[in-house]
Amino acid sequence: MEKRFGKEKQVSSEERRRRRSKSGINDLPDPLLCHILSFLPTKDSVRSSLLSKRWRNIWLQVPVFDLDSVQFDNDVSSFMEFVDRFLESDKKLALDRFKLMCSYEDLDDDSVLKSWIDALVRRRVRHLDFQVNSDDNELVWMPLSLYSCNTLVSLSLYHVALCGFELASAVSLPCLKLASCPVLEKLTVIRDPFELLEIMRVRSKSLKTLTLGIEDDQDCLLGDDHVVEIDAPRLEHMSLCDHLSGSIIIHSIAPYASVNIDVNFEGKDGYALDLDDDDDDSNSKRTMIRNILTRIFTVSRMEISSVTLQVINDYSKLEMLPQFSNLSWDLSLIKRNAQSNSSVPPCFVSSLKYVELATQGTTRPSSQMKLAIYFLRNCAALKKLTLSGSFGYDIIKKIKKIPRRSRRCIIVTG
């Protein structure tokens, strides 16, 4: 009801709908509505179609797709039809992000995945995140059409095989020719320990962020001769976690890069390697360690596991290490287990300004103390020592009382 000149006037429901349609979010143009919906998961974006006739197909114009097949309650047919409808709705509309999580059983027909990837390439996808879940570690094969996509900026794949073995010698990563993706800047690959490829090669002149990992499995099929190669001169952020490959070779990364390295250098067998032996295995490992150190000595920030640090320390007793002078900007050294003081090569502490320490919850307080004492007493340029929550309150109080070589050093928790 509304009042006019002191009298009440009945307002029809049609009039109220008309007035609402002329105010608020309905006044916004379609492109802006699509931008707003792009911040929602696709399932929520679809719900907007119930608002009115105008909203019925707005979700199909959103340049972002984010969906998990579990939302279809094992109705594989409905799931596939839904994805098909979205990809075929507007072939001229470029896609900014496409994220899809599904099970291996959802893709039992290879032609389904091929049609989806073909459509994504046609729609100039920029960010692709494709994850396949399988209880039996089954892999799906990525169609070759992806490797000709010239709009990719970031690519994240899980439980996806990248090529057939007959193509392995002609491709990198191992089938994605990064030269065919001239603007690829971010790449995440979690490899399967049961793959049979002899080499994993990452080559790109545009890549800026690389995350390369492999699931640890004692029954894996990787041989000790399996090789990982990285050649990315503009790589600014590299995270490498690999305890299975027999050899890791870094050809180039950007100077002042930030790296995270968790490698044992020993291959999947895990036998302790005596680096001062004069056999082929020891010589090969020394060469590999030398190659990695000479390629990363200009980095500005480094995070290393205790396993990696121990091997580097053993190597330092045989050959002189390069000076990591740029680490004076920022170093984050994460040790998974507190080792003895001697496990930290002097080249890592000579000019450090920032150190971050973390230990496992089972690490003894005495070992935590020794670890902190080493850095506080040896780092003349140290400005800040950050202790993780794994250091107990009483230990932190004792560490703060330790005499420091650097008078400017502060101790914080984080």
209 and 353 inside one domain:
no
Query: Does residue 132 carry a pLDDT above 70?
Result: yes
233 pLDDT exceeds 90? yes
- Same domain, yes or no: 345 and 316: no
Last residue of a domain, one of 15, 35, 62: 62
Instruction: Please indicate, yes or no, if residue 251 is contained in any of the structural domains.
Output: yes
In a domain, 327, yes or no: no
Residue 106, domain member (yes or no) = no
Residue 315 and residue 266 share a domain: yes
- Same domain for 340 and 377, yes or no, is yes
Asked whether the whole model's pTM tops 0.85, one would answer: no
Q: Are residues 167 and 280 in the same domain?
A: yes
Higher pLDDT, 371 or 265: 371
Q: Is the pLDDT of residue 253 over 90?
A: yes
Between 24 and 141, the more confident residue is 141
344 and 313 in a common domain: no
Q: Flag whether pLDDT at 181 surpasses 80.
A: no
Q: What pLDDT is recorded for position 82?
A: 92
Please indicate, yes or no, if residue 216 is contained in any of the structural domains.
yes
**What local confidence, expressed as pLDDT, does residue 19 receive?**
55
Q: What is the CATH number of the domain that holds 50?
A: 1.20.1280
294 and 363 in a single domain? The answer is no
322, 342, 361 — which closes off a domain?
A: 322
Same domain flag for 395 and 337: yes
Q: Which of 128-142, 191-205, 324-338, 361-375 has the lowest mean pLDDT?
A: 324-338
pLDDT level of residue 86 (50, 70, 90 thresholds): very high
Average pLDDT, the chain: 78
pLDDT of residue 1: 41
Query: 246 and 369: one domain?
Result: no
Lowest average pLDDT, out of 91-100, 146-155, 167-176, goes to: 167-176
Do 405 and 267 lie in one domain? The reply is no
* Judgement on whether residues 273 and 383 belong to the same structural domain of the protein: no
310 within some domain: yes
Q: What is the arithmetic mean of pLDDT over 284-304? A: 86
Number of domains in the chain: 3
What does the pLDDT read at residue 366? 83
Residue 142 is assigned to a structural domain of this protein: no
Residue 266 lies in a domain: yes
Among 296, 322, 348, where does a domain finish?
Answer: 322
What is the residue range of 344's domain?
332-414
In a shared domain, residues 336 and 318: no
SS (H, E, C) the chain: CEEECCEEECCCHHHHHHHHHCCHHHHCCHHHHHHHHCCCCHHHHHHHHHCCCCCCCHHHHCCEEEEEHHHHCCCHHHHHHHHHHHHHHCCCCCCCEEEEEEEHHHHCCHHHHHHHHHHHHHCCCCEEEEEEECCCCCCEECCHHHHHCCCCCEEEEECEECCCHHHHHHCCCCCCCHHHCCCCCEEEEEECCCCCCCEEEEECCCCCEEEEEECCCCCCCCCCCCEEEEECCCCCEEEEEECCCCEEEEEECCCCCEEEEEECCCCCCCCCCCCCCCCHHHHHHHHHHHHHHHHHCCCCEEEECHHHHHHHHHHHCCCCCCCCHHHHCCCCCCCCCCCCHHHCCHHHCCCCCEEEECCCCCCCHHHHHHHHHHHHHHCCCCCEEEECCCCCHHHHHHHCCCCCCCCCCEEEEC
Q: Which of 194-208, 217-231, 314-328, 387-401 has the highest mean pLDDT?
A: 387-401
| pLDDT, tens only, 316-356 | 888 887 877 776 554 455 444 444 444 566 666 666 788 88
Q: Is residue 219 part of a domain?
A: yes
pLDDT digits (tens, 9 = 90+) for 37-77: 888 889 888 888 777 777 888 888 899 999 999 988 888 89
